Amino acid sequence: MDILIATGIFAVVFILLLVLFTSRGGGGDQTREVLRRMARPEEDLDVSVMRRRRPDAGVAFLRNLNVLRRLEEMMWQAGIYTRVADVLLIMLGLFAGGFFLGQATSGDPLVSLLIGAALGSIPIVYIEFQRRRRLKAFAAQLPFALDLIKSSLEAGHSLQRSLQVVVGEFAEPLGSEFRTVLEQNRIGLPLGRALEDLLKRVPEEDLRLLVVAVKVQTEVGSSLAQIVGRLSEIVRVRQRLRLQIRALTAQSRMGGWVVGLLPIFVLGAFSLIQPGYVDQLFYDPTGQKILRIAIVLDLLAIVTIRRLLKVSY
C-alpha cells in the first residue's frame, strides 16, 4: 500500500510539473528568451544606461558559482528557451518524488537520496543529450555553409550578405544561429562581436576557426573568400579525422561498457537463477557494504576507461 501511495504521489507531482513546464513554453515566452539571447550580456552594459536587476537572495549564491549561468548556456546550446526556474522546479519535484518513492520501497535514507538524485538529474541528462545532438548537427552543416559563404564572397557580396544567403538556405540549427548573428549586427553590435557571441552559444572548435579568420581578415585585410575556402577544407579534414578516431576506438569503448555492465547482468542472473547465492549481498550488512563499494568501483572504472579513450586533437 505504501508503494502504491508513493507511486501515486510521484505521478501526480510529475504530471503537475510537466503541465507547468509546457504551459510556460509558449510563443511569447520563447520570443522574449530569443530577444534576451540577442542582447549583450549585462556585464558589458553601462550602468548609467541600464540599471542591473539585483538577483533574488535565494539564487544569489548559485549565480556567484555560475551554476545558473552554466545551466542557461546549456539550455541555449540545446535550443531550449525555457526559464531556468522552471527547470529547477522540475528537478526539485523529481528529486522529492524519487526520495519518497525510495523511502516507501526501501526505507534506507541513502538509497532514497540516490533514487531522488537519479530522477532529479533527468532534466540535465535530457538537456545535455539535446545539446550534443544540436552541436553535432551544426558541425555537420558548417562545411557546406562555408562553401556557400565562399561562393557568395567570390561573387562580390559582402560578408553580411553572404550570411543572409546562408540563413535562407540552411535550416535549424545553423540557419537560426546565423540569423541571430545578423539580428545582433542589425541592432548595432559589430559583426566580430556577434560571431564571438555565436561561439559562446555554439562552442565548436571548427566555428572558432571561422571567427578567428574573420577577425584576421578585419585586421589584415586579406581575401576572405580564400580564407573561408581553405577553412572549409580544414573543417572537413578535422571531421574526417574525428570519425576515424571514433572508428578506431569503437572496440575499446564497447569493451569498457561490457566490462562495466557485466557484473550487473551477472548479479541479476544469479538473483533469478539462484537467489540464495546473492542473499548475503542484499540482506547482510557486510554484504550491503561490499555491494556499495563494488558499485562505486564499477562506476569509477567506466569513467576511467572513457577518459583514457578520449583523444584531444
| Per-residue CA distances from 22 to 71, 82, 90 (Å) | 19, 9, 11
81: cell is: 528557451
| Main-chain phi, psi angles of 105, to 5 degrees | -90, -45
Res 13: pLDDT: 56
CB atoms within 10 A of CB 201: 17
Res 6: pLDDT: 53
CB atoms within 10 A of CB 231: 21
CB atoms within 10 A of CB 149: 24
Distance between CA atoms of residues 222 and 145, nearest Å: 20
Distance between CA atoms of residues 250 and 307, nearest Å: 14
Q: Which of 118, 147, 119 is nearest to 230 (CA)?
A: 147
Q: Which of 127, 280, 142 is nearest to 206 (CA)?
A: 142
Q: Per-residue confidence of the chain (313 residues) as pLDDT tens digits?
A: 455 555 555 555 555 555 554 444 444 444 544 555 555 444 443 333 333 344 444 444 445 557 778 888 888 888 887 788 888 888 888 888 888 887 787 777 777 888 888 888 888 889 889 888 888 888 888 889 888 888 888 888 888 888 888 888 888 888 888 888 888 888 888 888 888 888 888 888 888 888 888 888 777 766 788 888 888 888 888 888 888 888 888 888 888 788 888 888 888 888 888 777 777 777 788 887 888 888 888 888 888 887 877 776 6
Distance between CA atoms of residues 143 and 204, nearest Å: 13
Domains with residue ranges and CATH for the chain? 2-131 (no CATH), 132-247 (1.20.81.30), 249-308 (no CATH)
173 preceded by a cis bond (ω within 30 of 0): yes
Name the region of 220 (left: φ>0; alpha: ψ -120 to 50; beta: rest): alpha
Per the CB < 8 A criterion, the answer to whether 153 and 144 are in contact is no
pTM for the whole structure = 0.66
Q: Which ranges in 53-173 belong to alpha helices (H)?
A: 57-64, 67-77, 84-105, 109-120, 122-154, 159-169
